[in-house]
Structure 1
Amino acid sequence: MTIAIIDYGMGNVRSLMNAFEYIGEDAVVTADFDELEAADRLVLPGVGAFGDAMKAIEAREGLRALLDRLAMEDKKPVLGVCLGMQLFARVSHEHGTHQGLGWLDAEILPLDVAPPAKVPHVGWNAVSFSPDEWLFKGLPSGESDYYFVHSFHMVCQDPQDLIATTDHGGTVTAAVRRGNLTATQFHPEKSQDNGLQLLQNWLAHEF
């Protein structure tokens, strides 16, 4: 299986590569259209601000159109991580209003948390999910911790897209899924054994 981590200049690519290598999978960090086209699976990483990330994607001529086709027409499996997940949304309200990829009917809003929770949300949190959710196979709901770093969160318009939540001064989206699109707000590559198991589950799933 070939895994392509999309390189658009704003990704946590090294830690993702290390995680895939640790579980015995080869991943390439690339913005080469032929490599993205040939890959069996794509990973959309991201750190930083939503608007900057969309500008970075749009600045690479043809990249946005290619990603749209691969994800929405060809139905290639895509995993979004942290900001990469947020880019799946239709719109973000981070430092203004910015259009996203629009792959999910969702919007990105500021975290509005009750004390003593703080923003940004940085650290380990337990994640809750349905026991029959394949992405978390072999992991106990409400007992498995994952590593988060974010100040904004995704609100899905279709509740069926929401597959996992965490509690950080209120309920926060932790993972979403629709067809070939899967994404986590937390960093699986920084979540030790639980994150590695999740990556293995994603690779093993037949889309």
Structure 2
Amino acid sequence: MSSPTTSRKKVVVLDYGFGNVRSAERALAHVGADVEITRDYDAAMNADGLLVPGVGAFAACMQGLRAARGDWIVGRRLAGGRPVMGICVGMQILFERGVEHGVETEGLDEWPGTVEPLKADVVPHMGWNTVTPAEGSRLFAGLDAGTRYYFVHSYAVRTWDFETGNPRIDAPKVSWATHGEPFVAAVENGPLWATQFHPEKSGDAGAQLLTNWIETL
């Protein structure tokens, strides 16, 4: 793990009622960020980076996010090229829709795709697993291929079909993991990054990954 020498970037952990914000705060502070937990619009808009956590059901997270104007904050930041990172359900809500128990809920639609139940013998997928990083990934820089990260989820995006349509714009970098079947484990798309696993619970590997993100702010 890199030593926590990253310059003091201001990171807001969006507090919309769905996410282990204290664990995220501690992990970010450990790698040198100046962290604030808030749903304040101005603070979230003006921070160097915005982290969107998430636990629980897709529909409930979307309801909480909208109640806190988080959908507006994320959209406005991305429109201005300001960095946003989603974790776990905070990643899932960035997709077009989620389907849980037969109920379909609209997500933020930053990426096309549907969050669906994992098809595996054991669900939820809980514990440590490896990830196959995308070629040229900055998120996984300095991390070995066999590094394990901590997952807790029953739903995931199982297919990826998204191209920029513009040869001048880099296609998103998509990293994969497998539990019963392959699923999207992380995405890097301009100012928008996200992980299905929990960096804040992934020890030294997670600290390195968060350092990599903060160094881009």
* Fold similarity call, TM over 0.5: yes
TM, length-normalised to structure 1: 0.91
Is structure 2 residue 112 aligned with structure 1 residue 108? no
Alignment partner for residue 86 of structure 1, among 83, 86, 92? 92
Are the aligned partners of 1:2 and 1:40 in contact in 2 as well (CA < 8 Å)?
A: yes
Which stretches of structure 1, 4 residues or more, deviate above 3 A after TM superposition?
Answer: 159-162
Alignment partner for residue 67 of structure 1, among 59, 62, 74? 74
Q: Percent identity?
A: 40
Are the aligned partners of 1:131 and 1:140 in contact in 2 as well (CA < 8 Å)?
A: no
RMSD of aligned residue pairs (Cα, Å): 1.5
| Structure having the larger proportion of residues in helix | 1
Q: 2:150 is aligned with what amino acid?
A: Y
Deviations along 1:111-170, one digit per CA (max 9) or x if unpaired, are: 012x4xx110000001111453111111112x0000000000023321753521112112
Alignment partner for residue 66 of structure 2, among 35, 45, 58? 58
TM, length-normalised to structure 2: 0.87
Paired residue total: 200
Q: Give the superposition deviation at 1:99.
A: 0.2
> What 5-or-longer segments of structure 2 have no aligned partner?
1-8, 164-170
The match for 1:31 is 39
Distance 2:89 2:207 in 1: 19
Alignment partner for residue 147 of structure 1, among 126, 145, 150? 150
Q: 2:183 is aligned with what amino acid?
A: V
Q: Give the superposition deviation at 1:94.
A: 1.6
> What 5-or-longer segments of structure 1 have no aligned partner?
none
Structure with the bigger RCO (C-alpha within 8 Å, sep 6+) is 2
Q: 2:93 is aligned with what amino acid?
A: L
Q: Give the superposition deviation at 1:58.
A: 1.8
